[in-house]
Amino acid sequence: MVTAAADQEKTGLGNYFIANYPPFSFWKNTYLPDAEAVLNSPPKPGVPLGLYLHIPFCRKRCKFCYFRVYTDKNARDIETYLDAIVKEVELLSRTACVGGRPLDYVYFGGGTPSYLSAAQLDGLMTRLRQILPWDQAREVTFECEPGTLQKHKLETLRAQGVTRLSLGVENFKPEILQYNGRAHLEEEIYRAFGWARDLGFPQINLDLIAGMVGEDWDNWKRCVAKTIELAPDCVTIYQMELPYNTVFSKELKMVGNDDPQLAVADWPTKRAWVRYAFDELGKAGYEVSSATTVVKNKASTQFVYREALWRGADMFGTGVASFGHVNGVHVQNVDTWEAYIEKLNAGELPLGRAFPTTERDRLIREVVLLLKTGHLDVDYFRQKYGVDVRDVFRGAFDQLRGEGWLTVAGENIDTTRDGLMQIDRHLPAFFDPQYISTRYT
Ligand code: SF4
């Protein structure tokens, strides 16, 4: 008999990881006037401003991917999109909420930003920097798919000020890469990594996924050993989830599927893989910096984008379907190509839906997201929100402490290692009741 607890440990369909609060399903287009109001108001003093650019092109669609990406666009479509995103940044740069702030962080995500040619990237970045310079930014991150890189493309990125290169490796085994629909080959990982190191990028992150279809213990151990051999500055390990609307979710009919060939490992196995990787990387000198990341040197290897965003910084999310946050209001752009291009051609910001947060929403958001780093500093919240989070969330902390997921010692709240490995499933304990048990997206 399959028990409820056993069912919970299976990798079923749906989004498991929590990236924001309140959940996206509560964002509405009826809140767009709130977004417009904050865009047209000066910023709060001391709040940093970031820029996210969504580059939605990929060579092929990975079978587990649910992002808004396109695999069928030609060179002219791409030019149209790049003109549109530059236009969007230009419109945003003229809003009052910029308030003379220089960019603190920039993030090129996707999709696959490295899908663009060196010439397209050079042109795009030159135009963007004329509008909103990033010379003073603490970090400029650029996501890459190893098979799309050439040395001259990396030289262009370096010359344009990219400081953090993030390589989507996911796995090293050719059969697993292929079965999961990844476009790159194992040898391309080594080639790309070597060039990136030679060019002296200040920080290189390598992404892995624990639990790709076809994964087993032997191969996972080899992946971890190869990662340690490459010695990136930062390693990010995601646990495979199976959101709705992916090739796998349709192909595998996961719920109730007992065919081991098609199964994604259950959650305890994926957690064991991440734990193993963290332990091995720990022996190689890495330190845990969140539920998904280890870094070579915690003091010098920062991830500004994550830190700023999780602590409530402003960020313009540009590109189709992008998410942003401005002065307490969550914003998401329209999520179709046609609507995005059309709005910008008409000279309008392509806003799709928004959510004006309350002070309490922002407090919960910050508690929830920072718990993913494994540590909360009670005084930080006292200084920022004027409350003691131990009192505000007493019930949730007591519950999680009782179950062994965290400890509260004086002003420090720390997750246990087991708690950190599965932190996302415990975060709804901090949600207000109306936001619990809803479909997340
Ligand atoms: S490379 Fe990334 S964005 Fe592109 S299809 Fe794969 S998972 Fe999705």
Q: Atom 7, ligand 1: which residue's CA is nearest? A: 65
User: Cβ(170) to ligand 1 under 6 A?
Assistant: no
What length does the chain have?
441
Position 184 scores a pLDDT of: 87
- Judged against a pLDDT cut of 80, whether residue 109 lies above it is answered with yes
How remote is the CA of residue 58 from the centroid of ligand 1, in Å? 6
- Judged against a pLDDT cut of 70, whether residue 391 lies above it is answered with yes
Domain 18-308 maps to which CATH number in 3.20.20.70, 3.80.30.20, 3.20.10.10, 3.40.718.10? 3.80.30.20
User: Cβ(58) to ligand 1 under 6 A?
Assistant: yes
How remote is the CA of residue 187 from the centroid of ligand 1, in Å? 19
Given ligand 1 and candidates 112, 166, 171, which is best to mutate, with the most ligand atoms within 8 Å of its CB?
112
How remote is the CA of residue 417 from the centroid of ligand 1, in Å? 29
Q: Which numbered atom of ligand 1 lies nearest the CA of 181?
A: 6
Burial 230-250 (b: 16+ CB within 10 A, else e): bebbbbbbbbbbbbeebebbe
| DSSP conformation letters of 218-287 | HHHHHHHHHHHHH--SEEEEEEP-B-TTSHHHHHT--TT---TTTPPPPHHHHHHHHHHHHHHHHHTT-E
- Judged against a pLDDT cut of 90, whether residue 171 lies above it is answered with yes
Q: In Å, how far are 13, 51, 60, 341, 393 from 80, measured between CA atoms? A: 35, 20, 20, 8, 48
**The pTM is what?**
0.94
Q: Which numbered atom of ligand 1 lies nearest the CA of 66?
A: 8
User: Cβ(241) to ligand 1 under 6 A?
Assistant: no
Q: Atom 3, ligand 1: which residue's CA is nearest? A: 111
User: Cβ(275) to ligand 1 under 6 A?
Assistant: no
Q: In Å, how far are 46, 238, 317, 323 from 131, measured between CA atoms? A: 22, 35, 16, 20
So what CATH class is 359-429? mainly alpha
| DSSP conformation letters of 143-181 | EE-GGG--HHHHHHHHHTT--EEEEEEE---HHHHHHTT
Q: Which numbered atom of ligand 1 lies nearest the CA of 61?
A: 5
Residues 262-309: tens digit of each pLDDT: 567 888 999 999 999 999 999 999 999 999 999 998 888 999 999 999
Query: Is 196 exposed, middle or buried, given 0-12, 13-18 or 19+ CB atoms closer than 10 A?
Result: buried
Position 248 scores a pLDDT of: 79
What residues does each domain of the chain span? 18-308, 359-429
- Work out the average pLDDT over 378-404: 97
Position 388 scores a pLDDT of: 98
CA-CA-CA-CA torsion sign (404, 408, 409, 415): positive
User: Cβ(59) to ligand 1 under 6 A?
Assistant: no
Residues 121-148: tens digit of each pLDDT: 999 999 999 999 999 999 999 999 999 9
Residues 80-99: tens digit of each pLDDT: 999 999 999 999 999 999 99
How remote is the CA of residue 186 from the centroid of ligand 1, in Å? 17
User: Cβ(183) to ligand 1 under 6 A?
Assistant: no
